[in-house]
């Protein structure tokens, strides 16, 4: 399995969720065991040995691989959810997306100061939702933060926007926005 083969397995959905957006649907790659294993293993290789204690997955597609990566790293899994989805006391951040405003939340007691956190999501576009996730995790005062996404959408400057906000920011694959 190669990065090129995984990219070929990702479906492009025009005009979703709104007109003008070229949505990169990873579900077609996730349905293939070889792609799924490749993605998990590549993430684990990059972060093994860094002392990750918690893998934080961003709702909703960040939930898909984050628990598998957490298990391989011997870490726990913590979800970041949309508002009113978590049952206990939460901390929140509101941010601008490329097509509107959104908020995310995490349980207030989900992370500890000694935690080394890997935040994971499927797509890095402009960086707004990941920056909000980093801000949310920082509110809980953790030791270190690493960031991983499966796909970086080239040309939207998400990596540049996130520069300096975490120890390491990495995407497994890069895809042109219009590909």
Q: Nearest to residue 41, comparing CAs of 148, 127, 141, 113? A: 148
Active-site residue, from 61, 154, 160, 167: 61
Distance CA(113)–CA(141), nearest Å, equals 5
Catalytic: 46? no
The partner residues of 174 in beta bridges, in order of sequence, read 152
DSSP-assigned states of every residue in 130-171: HHHHHHHHHHTT-SEEEEEEEEEEETS-HHHHHTTSSSEEEE
Per DSSP, the three-state class of 110 is coil
Residue 7's closest CA among 114, 123, 115, 93? 123
Considering the candidates 32, 40, 46, 98, report the single residue annotated as catalytic.
98
Identify the burial level of 160 via C-beta atoms within 10 angstroms of its C-beta, where 0-12 means exposed, 13-18 middle and 19 or more buried.
Answer: exposed
Does the annotation count 11 as an active-site position? no
Enumerate the active-site residues.
61, 98
């Amino acid at each position: 399995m190669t990065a090129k083969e995984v990219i070929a397995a990702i479906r492009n959905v025009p005009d979703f969720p709104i007109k003008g957006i070229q949505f990169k649907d990873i579900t077609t790659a996730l349905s293939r065991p070889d792609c799924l294993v490749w993605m998990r293993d590549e993430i684990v290789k990059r972060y093994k040995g860094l002392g990750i204690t918690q893998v934080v997955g961003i709702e909703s597609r960040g939930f898909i691989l984050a628990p598998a990566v957490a298990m391989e790293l011997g870490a726990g899994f913590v979800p970041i959810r949309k508002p009113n989805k978590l049952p206990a006391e939460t901390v929140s951040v509101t941010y601008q997306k490329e097509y509107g405003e959104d908020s995310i939340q995490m349980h207030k007691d989900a992370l500890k100061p000694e935690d080394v956190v890997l935040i994971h999501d499927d797509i890095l576009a402009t960086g707004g939702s990941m920056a909000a996730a980093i801000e949310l995790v920082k509110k809980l005062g953790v030791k270190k933060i690493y960031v991983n996404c499966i796909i970086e959408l080239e040309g939207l400057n998400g990596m540049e926007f996130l520069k300096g906000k975490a120890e390491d920011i990495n995407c497994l694959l890069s895809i042109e926005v219009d590909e």
